[in-house]
Structure 1
Amino acid sequence: MRFILKALVAGCLTLGATGGAISGPAKTAAGQTGRTVLQMIGGSAEHTTFAAMMEASGFARTLEGRGPFTVFAPVNAAFTALHPGTLDEYVSGVDRASLSRFVACHVIPGRVDMAALKRLYAIQGGPYMIGTLGGCYLRVSIRAGAVQLQDERGTAVSVLAPDVGRSNGEVQVIDKVLMPGN
């Protein structure tokens, strides 16, 4: 397994600047032109839990910025599927820094779409790791032609709606919550 750190992100951004799909003009859905990743998530009925966590953590301020960012946004059902107590240490309200880290573990720097993740898989010759803004690592692999992520606790996460482009990044809608390691 290869660890792709800051050099990968820098390389990806360089590839994007030379015509790749990693950074470039925002691909936006009809009627969504100019909206930020924060506005998309905050305005989605499927992301109310994640949006509330972004606000409570203070991390929403980061996502209001210029970016670009790629946000792996879990749907509400992903939170209800967790075992009771799983998120207690993050949402207890006592430790805002832990909640901010939890949210940031769903964000990577740069505009990264599914085609770019697949290209990197091919370049690496298999699974690889990417770092998040929260200091977590996600394992990227390809299963049946689709990108699959694995968090530090080993949970396999699938992308439900890929490449939702915004003015300051991409949103990748995912089916499970990404949890930081212990």
Structure 2
Amino acid sequence: MKSIKVLGVVFFTTLSAITAIAQNSKTVVENAIASKDHTTLVAAVKAAGLVETLSGKGPFTVFAPTNAAFAKLPKGTVESLLKPENKAKLQAILTYHVVAGNLDSKAVVAAIKAGKGSATLTTVQGGKLVGSIDGKNVILTDEKGNKSTITAVDIVSSNGVIHVIDSVVLPK
């Protein structure tokens, strides 16, 4: 019985390492495409014409809203943003979710602690996100005062890192 438990732990550890390698070899876009929870984000990135940019060298730190996060937006918002005539607005919103550099969760938390409770992150769009800690959660506050919780961290990609968030953040 003991050998079966050990074998299970070895298998799980190996599987985790293989998954990490698979993530590490993919770009932030490829990792988003592989996620069933980010189909709306992927559709938006494609509609905005940002696939090539976010597949580039980077590094990028991407705060990736889930499908459920997009569903929180007012009815019809996503459909409207995906229209060709709203491409510039969609690009602005999506690049507001990206910070230049490779900020893993330890770096984000360290910046918040160094800032005595908050850290201002400048996005690729040019706007600001403010990171803070509430209990054990890292919270992002956008320029409109909306809050989003980081729900998964450190999805390491070949050109950056992804942190999953539970709400869409919006620039001014």
Q: TM-score range by the shorter chain?
A: 0.7 to 0.9
SS at 1:176's partner residue? coil
CA shift at 1:31, angstroms?
3.4
TM-score normalised over the length of structure 1: 0.78
CA shift at 1:146, angstroms?
2.4
- Counterpart in the other structure of 2:140: 149
CA shift at 1:128, angstroms?
2.6
- Counterpart in the other structure of 1:139: 130
- For residue 61 of structure 2, the aligned residue among 49, 56, 70 is 70
5+ residue gaps, structure 2: 1-18
Greater mean deviation of Cα atoms: 146-155 or 88-97: 88-97
2-structure distance, mates of 1:150, 1:86: 20
CA shift at 1:109, angstroms?
0.3
Which protein is richer in helix relative to its size?
A: 2
Q: Which amino acid aligns with 2:89?
A: S
CA shift at 1:88, angstroms?
6.3
1-structure distance, mates of 2:140, 2:131: 5
Larger Rg: 2
1-structure distance, mates of 2:75, 2:144: 16
Residues 156, 162 of structure 2: 8 Å contact kept: yes
Partner deviation per Cα, 1:75-117 (whole Å, 9 max, x = no partner): 1011112122445663332132211111101100001011111
Q: Which amino acid aligns with 2:65?
A: P
CA shift at 1:174, angstroms?
0.7
- Counterpart in the other structure of 2:95: 104
1-structure distance, mates of 2:142, 2:64: 14
Across the aligned residues of Structure 1 and Structure 2, the Cα RMSD in angstroms comes to 1.7
Residues 105, 178 of structure 1: 8 Å contact kept: yes
2-structure distance, mates of 1:89, 1:128: 32
Residues 139, 149 of structure 1: 8 Å contact kept: yes
2-structure distance, mates of 1:128, 1:160: 18
Partner deviation per Cα, 1:106-132 (whole Å, 9 max, x = no partner): 100001011111111121112131111
Q: Which amino acid aligns with 1:163?
A: D
- For residue 159 of structure 2, the aligned residue among 162, 168, 171 is 168
Q: Percent identity?
A: 38
2-structure distance, mates of 1:144, 1:71: 23
Aligned residues: 154
- The structure 1 segments of at least 4 consecutive aligned residues displaced by more than 6 Å after TM superposition are none
1:123-134 maps to which residues of 2 (within 5 A)? 123-134=114-125
- For residue 70 of structure 2, the aligned residue among 72, 79, 82 is 79
Q: Which amino acid aligns with 1:91?
A: L
SS at 1:32's partner residue? helix
SS at 1:103's partner residue? helix
TM-score normalised over the length of structure 2: 0.83
1-structure distance, mates of 2:130, 2:161: 19
Does residue 32 of structure 1 match 2:54? Answer: no
1-structure distance, mates of 2:128, 2:80: 19
Q: Which has the higher contact order (CA 8 A, sep 6+)?
A: 1
